[in-house]
A and B are shown apart, each in its own frame.
Chain A
């Protein structure tokens, strides 16, 4: 459909997964035995959780693996209703050409405790024909009854060498020229997230086959607008109305995600001309608001409230 390298170079077999040896060895063992338990994949973004789930499905079910594999995002479909309808319906259907099916629930941390309880019932009732793989950033956000019914696999943050190994595959296949500085830059910006790293690489490649450190930062600058800096500066100078205008432009017109904006605000706190103590207080406030966003808070109002708090700390 589209040529997006994240998909094109996504590891398809367990052998191709980058690192996570601990996890991959056990998964291979399950595949050999042609059966898997319910599982929880916990770890930072872009470390291979979805990849592993899909790889298992491919190796167990062969070509028509999609028939026995349902992917659902808890963040897109948040309520308990989704569990009771969509997930339940798929759980009940008979697997095709296999003893069982797999349901993959991504971003499970977004599931409310109620939804998780409903899920746990499904896991008990249909265990013989359906296996669940839950993916999340922190396993602690999964309720204990589910944790006890599933095998928990921890995905580690990838090292620099891992990231480089993975990128080399793409670089070779696409015949790119990437210098050492650029690779370092990609690693720094992506923080071990292979999805992000691949996107940065591909976006840079659009600008030309030779990729240097400057190109990397240029590409990332496009994704990280100067306007956020301007907005923070307005807030800290007591110009709340102006800050709010910039925010509305970013969110409503440019469609920048609130999470992105808040990440940048938190990155910029340490560079501000305010007391060290104020910086710590602000970091706490930013964390508070990021958590409100995670809970489903509206991006505009939560960020405005954060800006109003910033305005109390004149620079």
Chain B
């Protein structure tokens, strides 16, 4: 996977952010207990990777805590409590807490505990966040020095992509490279992933650009109306968008509560869809759309894995089996007529009917 192969391993590999690296190193040199470092900036700008590389370069032990872990006061204390106490066995250590602005309501007392740890820790603590001005971080900021990572410039991204294309002998044109760099919006990780897909199927990437954008917006928007607009302006209709969301949702959310909440929205959106069919009332499509857009409000954070969107299994499968399913539909109907019952009841009896009819069933 390109992303793994071209992951920066030394400071020299880091793209852009040279000034940030200097700031972090200076901070470490002058570090005194009581204050942490808060790195903030858009996804893919390098917050986590830079911290990891610096720690490695200085031969410091790195202890990392992520949002996929529980971040309640209790868990933090458990994970980090002893880690922050001085240990003669270690030459030195850095503690890295990722995505502090994504603490959910289930992570009770998390921020307060982090503050406590910052004040008492024997080792430097680095925090990362997308947005330093999130309300949750108000009190935390009093204990932090802030360093801002800007979006990586398009030209630097483009340069790196060209390097990779050359080295890997990829079949990607200059034009596409430029397009990917621009589209990435400063996120070098997504750019490299796009490159990998572009090599495989350029057509696909272009064709599906619209729905990819729509999905991105639905999953990342800060407000529902933006998400609704994205759905409205997408070239696919709401029923298809529904299945694209269903397919890709599990890459966006990890916590069981989040997944349950998201599927609850989808389940209710589906009920509105069926009301449209049953009552022939298209007003219900609006509710279907709004519930799907509402997914953007289920709290989630960019988890540290880039998301590649896939087309819905279901539509691929249904497309592939369309003719055979049509035949099955015919079979259900015929059997239903013969057995004086509905297609649904035929389906329920199907396992037995298959046995009973045996070869005749296959012949059908």
Bitwise interface map of B from 344 to 364 toward A, beta carbon under 8 Å scored 1, else 0 = 110111111101111010000
- The answer to whether B256 and A206 touch across the interface, beta carbons within 8 angstroms, is no
- The answer to whether A311 and B260 touch across the interface, beta carbons within 8 angstroms, is yes
Judge if A266 is at the interface, Cβ distance under 8 Å: no
Residues in B whose Cβ lies below 8 Å from that of A199: 349, 352-353, 356
- The answer to whether A222 and B348 touch across the interface, beta carbons within 8 angstroms, is no
Most buried by B among A1, A114, A296: A296
Judge if B340 is at the interface, Cβ distance under 8 Å: yes
- The answer to whether A305 and B266 touch across the interface, beta carbons within 8 angstroms, is yes
A202 to chain B, nearest CB (A): 5
Distance, CA A274 to CA B343, complexed state (A): 37
Most buried by A among B250, B257, B274: B274
**Known contacts A255-B347, A304-B246, A312-B260; is-contact A298 B274 (Cβ 8 Å):** yes
- The answer to whether A112 and B278 touch across the interface, beta carbons within 8 angstroms, is yes
A233 to chain B, nearest CB (A): 15
Residues in A whose Cβ lies below 8 Å from that of B352: 196, 199-200, 202-203, 219, 223
Residues in B whose Cβ lies below 8 Å from that of A202: 352, 356
Q: Which residue of B lies closest to A235 (CB)?
A: B256
B256, B278, B342, B343: which contacts A240 (Cβ < 8 A)?
B256
- The answer to whether B353 and A7 touch across the interface, beta carbons within 8 angstroms, is no
A74, A257, A289, A295: which contacts B347 (Cβ < 8 A)?
A257
Docked complex: A193-232 residues within 8 A CB-CB of B: 195-196, 199-200, 202-203, 206, 219, 222-224
Distance, CA A63 to CA B317, complexed state (A): 46
A1, A76, A222, A297: which contacts B274 (Cβ < 8 A)?
A297
Residues in A whose Cβ lies below 8 Å from that of B246: 301, 304
- The answer to whether A54 and B340 touch across the interface, beta carbons within 8 angstroms, is yes
Judge if B339 is at the interface, Cβ distance under 8 Å: yes
Judge if B11 is at the interface, Cβ distance under 8 Å: no
Judge if A241 is at the interface, Cβ distance under 8 Å: yes
A284 to chain B, nearest CB (A): 15
Residues in B whose Cβ lies below 8 Å from that of A50: 340-341
B351 to chain A, nearest CB (A): 3
- The answer to whether B339 and A238 touch across the interface, beta carbons within 8 angstroms, is no
- Additional A-B contacts beyond A73-B342, A203-B352, A252-B318 (9; CB < 8 A): A2-B357, A7-B338, A78-B277, A203-B355, A244-B250, A253-B317, A257-B347, A295-B274, A304-B266
B160 to chain A, nearest CB (A): 32
Q: Which residue of A lies closest to B328 (CB)?
A: A255
A79, A295, A297, A312: which contacts B257 (Cβ < 8 A)?
A312
Docked complex: A42-72 residues within 8 A CB-CB of B: 45, 50, 54, 71
B282 to chain A, nearest CB (A): 13
Judge if B142 is at the interface, Cβ distance under 8 Å: no
- The answer to whether A206 and B358 touch across the interface, beta carbons within 8 angstroms, is yes
B262, B280, B317, B341: which contacts A80 (Cβ < 8 A)?
B280
Judge if A147 is at the interface, Cβ distance under 8 Å: no
Judge if A118 is at the interface, Cβ distance under 8 Å: no
Docked complex: B70-105 residues within 8 A CB-CB of A: none
Residues in B whose Cβ lies below 8 Å from that of A54: 340
B313, B342, B356: which contacts A206 (Cβ < 8 A)?
B356
Bitwise interface map of A from 88 to 122 toward B, beta carbon under 8 Å scored 1, else 0 = 00000000000000000011000010100000000
Residues in B whose Cβ lies below 8 Å from that of A195: 341, 349
A117 to chain B, nearest CB (A): 12
B314, B347, B355: which contacts A219 (Cβ < 8 A)?
B355
Q: Is the interface of B mostly helix, strand, loop or mixed?
A: helix
Contacts A/B (CB < 8 Å), 6 sampled: A195-B341, A206-B358, A252-B313, A257-B347, A300-B314, A311-B260
Judge if A4 is at the interface, Cβ distance under 8 Å: yes
- The answer to whether A240 and B250 touch across the interface, beta carbons within 8 angstroms, is yes
Docked complex: B262-302 residues within 8 A CB-CB of A: 262-264, 266-267, 270-271, 273-275, 277-280
- The answer to whether A4 and B317 touch across the interface, beta carbons within 8 angstroms, is no
Q: Which residue of A lies closest to B259 (CB)?
A: A308
Judge if A137 is at the interface, Cβ distance under 8 Å: no
A1, A222, A301: which contacts B351 (Cβ < 8 A)?
A222
A260 to chain B, nearest CB (A): 6
Interface on B for A, CB 8 Å cutoff? 246, 250, 256-257, 259-260, 262-264, 266-267, 270-271, 273-275, 277-280, 313-314, 317-318, 328, 333, 336, 338-345, 347-353, 355-358, 360
Top-9 shortest CB links A-B: A223-B351, A296-B274, A305-B267, A73-B342, A199-B352, A305-B263, A203-B355, A308-B263, A308-B260
Distance, CA A304 to CA B313, complexed state (A): 14
Judge if A81 is at the interface, Cβ distance under 8 Å: yes
Residues in A whose Cβ lies below 8 Å from that of B339: 4, 6-7
Q: Which residue of B lies closest to A53 (CB)?
A: B340
Distance, CA A144 to CA B350, complexed state (A): 35
B256, B336, B349: which contacts A238 (Cβ < 8 A)?
B256
- The answer to whether B277 and A296 touch across the interface, beta carbons within 8 angstroms, is yes
Distance, CA A297 to CA B275, complexed state (A): 9
Most buried by B among A81, A200, A240: A240
Residues in B whose Cβ lies below 8 Å from that of A75: 342-344
Distance, CA A7 to CA B336, complexed state (A): 11
A158 to chain B, nearest CB (A): 18
- The answer to whether B338 and A2 touch across the interface, beta carbons within 8 angstroms, is yes
Q: Which residue of B lies closest to A241 (CB)?
A: B250
- The answer to whether A71 and B314 touch across the interface, beta carbons within 8 angstroms, is no
Judge if A20 is at the interface, Cβ distance under 8 Å: no
B341, B344, B355: which contacts A257 (Cβ < 8 A)?
B344
Distance, CA A74 to CA B344, complexed state (A): 11
Judge if A170 is at the interface, Cβ distance under 8 Å: no
A37 to chain B, nearest CB (A): 22
Distance, CA A45 to CA B260, complexed state (A): 33
- The answer to whether A203 and B259 touch across the interface, beta carbons within 8 angstroms, is no
Docked complex: A247-272 residues within 8 A CB-CB of B: 248, 252-253, 255-257, 259-260
A259, A298, A301: which contacts B348 (Cβ < 8 A)?
A259
Distance, CA A255 to CA B271, complexed state (A): 22
Q: Which residue of A lies closest to B337 (CB)?
A: A71
- The answer to whether B270 and A301 touch across the interface, beta carbons within 8 angstroms, is yes
- The answer to whether A4 and B336 touch across the interface, beta carbons within 8 angstroms, is no
